[in-house]
Amino acid sequence: MSTHFGRSKSEHGFRDVVCIVGPTGSGKSQLALSLAEALNGEIVNCDSLQLFRGFDIGTAKPSEADQSRVPHHLLDVAGPGDDFTAGDYARVALPLLHTLSDRGKLPVVAGGTGFYLKAVIDGLVSAPRRDLSLRQRLQAMERRAPGRLHRLLRRWDTLSAMRIQPNDVQKLIRALEVMLQQRQPLSSVYQQPREAPGSLRFLQIGLDPPRELLYRRLNARCEAMWQSGLLDEVRGLLAAGYSPSAKPFGAIGYKQALRVVQGSLDPEAALEEMQRDTRRYAKRQWTWFRRDPRVYWIPSTENNTDTHGKVVRLLYKKLFWY
């Protein structure tokens, strides 16, 4: 294989980007590592939680050993109290992908946060930035009268209200924030033309393991995280002064560990809940990526070599042949 993959493509007017997607626990990180080593690539994280410093065990963040094998980007770029949106991600990731390509590297994007990847591939709409004062007022309104934000959204933006669950306060706040600032519904804003990602050409590869195999992996991985010190990691973050209301503490695994540390949940029940919620999350990821016809699905098994071989053959077919 050429060691100048990215540079040769830019000569043809394209800047190829390989995206490894699929449910959590399907082997995205290891496949990305293998491809980056073989194709002179560098890895760009697309997991919304791995962006945050200090949240390592419960996010399955690549180990120091793996990071030493191939350069990794967009890990540990946000503090636990930061608000890092899909738009923020796209604004950081797009220039990075161009820079890697200019250096003759193949960008390998790996992660299962579909909304973030969509912002990169399909571009961004022109939406207002976040208004902290307005958001605080909306949060206070919801605390005083739970359900009020969803009722307001139903009145002013029926389409968005149908899409957003009444208990998803963050999305409700964003929809109302956009409407109040832009003077039009969020559903209308998203129908506007999007900013194109330029000369980047994306190939999305989805890993598709048998469901029973994936669920066994996820159960085992959750247990390994628990045994590897997830509770101690949470205690350390709290001791460092980070608020229990910080966004990453609401993630699967961390919210259960936080309740154990606070004494409101016993460890055995917390692990079972973590495993259940992780399986449900994997199912939602499958559903998200299945909706995109541009994803090439690769049946994956416990034999990583076999899976990696299928992916390399697909890359030659889709990216090397003209």
Number of neighbours of residue 263 by Cβ within 10 angstroms: 7
**What is the rounded distance in angstroms from the CA atom of residue 192 to the CA atom of residue 131?**
21
pLDDT bucket at 170, cuts 50 / 70 / 90: confident
Average pLDDT over residues 142-151: 92
- State the Cα angle at 14 between 13 and 16, rounded to 5°: 160
CATH of the domain spanning 5-124+194-320 = 3.40.50.300
CA R_g for the chain? 21
How would you classify residue 40: left for phi > 0, otherwise alpha for psi between -120 and 50, otherwise beta? left
Terminal Cα distance for the chain, rounded: 16
CATH architecture, domain defined by 132-189:
Orthogonal Bundle (1.10)
Mean pLDDT over the full length of the chain? 88
Evaluate if residue 199 carries a pLDDT over 90. Answer: no
Q: How confident is the model at residue 168 (pLDDT cuts 50, 70, 90)?
A: confident
What burial letters (b/e) apply to 111-133, b meaning 16+ CB within 10 Å?
Answer: bbbbebbebbbbebbebeebeee
Walk across the sheet containing 295-299 and list its strands: 72-73, 41-45, 106-110, 15-21, 200-208, 295-299
Q: 115-146 pLDDT, tens per residue?
A: 899 999 988 766 667 788 898 899 899 999 99
pTM of the model as a whole? 0.82
Q: What is the mean pLDDT of residues 1-20?
A: 61
Structure confidence at residue 3 as a pLDDT band (50, 70, 90): very low
Instruction: Domain ranges for the chain, please list them.
Output: 5-124+194-320, 132-189
